[in-house]
Structure 1
Amino acid sequence: MANEVELLQLPDYSIEYTPTQIKIHNLEGLQKAVNAYANRYANVIVTDDTEKSAKDSRAKLNKLSNALDEKRRDIHRDYNKPYDEFADTIKQLRSVLQNTIDPIDDGLKELDGQHREQRKEHVQALITEMAPNYGVSASDIEIDPKWLNKTTSKKAVTEGVAVVMKQVKQAQDKFESDSLALTKYAEVNKVDAAPWIDQLKQGQDLDYLFKAIDNQVNLRKQKQKELEAQAAEAKTHQATKGDTTIDTTTGEIAEHSVTLQITTTIEEMKLLKNFMDQRGIKYQRAGA
């Protein structure tokens, strides 16, 4: 019947083999000879005078040792030969089955990939459905690979998506709150907030950024004091002629006043004002 599961099994077969016995004839005589040669040269003392004979003794002993090992290798090759032939036969039989297994395996992998893609589409639809309820965007939610596993239940996926959405919402709310606080702090200290907001986006700690702004402001104040001191010292040997201030020591123009009308956005005007403040450039509002 079509519903019956076909039972695959190999026919009864057996493997006959006879364990090989390896026996060394005249082992006792061989051991005596080896011990005798080893003892004969055991107490060789190597000096400048005996160097040549020591090398000769070593060569003879190595020759004996290599002869023993060569015999071992010969026996090893003969001993393994029956097994190697048996192993090759089994490999050939398995390759016949493997040629049929491989296409089935490839088909199952392809089908599994299709099912995984279908599960991914279902998870993405679930994320899109749930996102508005948690106040987040579906594009902000990354799919966890374990949500696509066949063994993961829909309930587990739903709970997992909910947990991630809560985490994303908390992170977004914290960033908005920190961003607002950082912007206000930057405005109070008359510095551009944009580069500090960028660092906040990269995960920098808010307290660290507050301290960094303080350091920048302190450096700016110190620089301003230095410029004011330099300006005060310079004024002691300056003379004003019209809109131009001349250094009486060098004769060079030390300061020149011009009137500009600048048209730009409020944000860009703030940046320009910060730039001039940081560099000690004097200015006044028209009509002031």
Structure 2
Amino acid sequence: MPHPGWSTFRFEGIGTQWEISTPDSLVPAVRSELLETVAAYDKTWSRFRTDSLVSGLSRSAGKITLPGHAVVLQEVYSALYRLTGGAMTPLVGSSLERLGYDATYALTPSGTPLPPPRWENVLDWAGTEITVKEPVVLDIGAAGKGQLVDLLGEVLREAGCTDFLVDGSGDMLHSGNRPVTVALEHPYNPRQAVGTVELDNFALCASASNRRTWGDGLHHVLDGTTGKPIHTTVATWTMAASALMADGLATALFMQEPAPLEKEFEFSWLTVSSSGAAAFSKGIEGRLFT
């Protein structure tokens, strides 16, 4: 939680609630830039908007040029696609739509689960350039909110703010000399916590299958090799240097054991399985409740 006495700027963006806490109230110009950054990200990446940059790729094959932040997003996605054997993919949007999680929020499946196309068969993503051989539904939700947390942190730093906590509905980035203690929400009861961690100039992100659920056993964390929701894991938390990395890894832990991920990424983690068992890395600095 932010420190007592800090000022908090609250707003809604990309379909979620945001809180940016700072020692002093942010001036109007900085608030405007934060809102503009969120709006620009949504206009680029949202699969729920017909006017977004990526939505055009769902209507026809072709090529688009993305903002500069697409470079590091591609690097993280490419690595996690490889490490999870294709289970984590930016092409999962078509499978989500088939299950009812579409632009109209129909929440009614249009058929049985189907896997999305393989990245290497339809998508060429090189830095800021994306070319697709056929219409595809891009969905970067597995890491995108984390990247937006980082981008808002950059806005604050460029404005001279070095002490802050950016909180995008549980995906957080902390900066400053005073760590904050964060409660880890219980996956089955949002009024309870499974533990706490101390956040000290790091990012903390979570992924939980109970966040977006509908129908009979349907939720938004899908296995990209099958198009089906994953039920073996119910919640994950990760701490890393960037929220982009933490967010992507929190999703990847639904699909892959930590060891292969730890060989290429430096992060701490906690997972809760569908049986209620918790596992965690040595790097988790905090306290788990029994």
Q: TM-score, normalised by structure 1?
A: 0.21
- Answer 1 or 2: which has greater strand percent: 2
